[in-house]
Amino acid sequence: MADAVAFDTSALMMPIECDVRVFDELDRLLGEFECVVPRAVRDELSKLADGAGQEAVAASVGADLAADRCRTVDHDESYADDALVELADEVDYVVTNDAPLKRRVLDAGTPVIHIRGRNKLEISKL
């Protein structure tokens, strides 16, 4: 059975902001996996994509990745980080480059996938 992997906003923006091939890296780390994204993350990406500059481009690419590669899940939380913490017990991993969110997810008992070095991902467990 494929591992369920939840993405936060920063993870979906990694291809542009950090030059990380997120899905290739997940293939390397996990093999088969299923991508999920909370609705609040999709909403946050849409808002950021309406702006200008590099962040808007990264958010636009992230929104496209979420639409093309991930299953959107509904939840009770309106804030993206809270939604990911709520989802933490339902998924096998959370992908984020956000340090406070990483700590909250690890405290919830779910491993976190994050950037190591320049453009590789690694898994952290409690």
Express each pLDDT in 27-75 by its tens digit: 999 999 999 999 999 999 999 999 889 999 999 999 999 999 999 999 8
3-class SS of residue 71? strand
Percent of the chain at pLDDT > 70 equals: 99
Give me the mean pLDDT over the 80-92 stretch. 93
What dihedral do alpha carbons 84, 66, 72, 46 form, nearest 10°?
80
pLDDT of residue 52: 86
Q: What is the pTM (predicted TM-score) of this model?
A: 0.92
Tokens of 69: 């590669």
The answer to whether residue 16 scores a pLDDT higher than 80 is yes
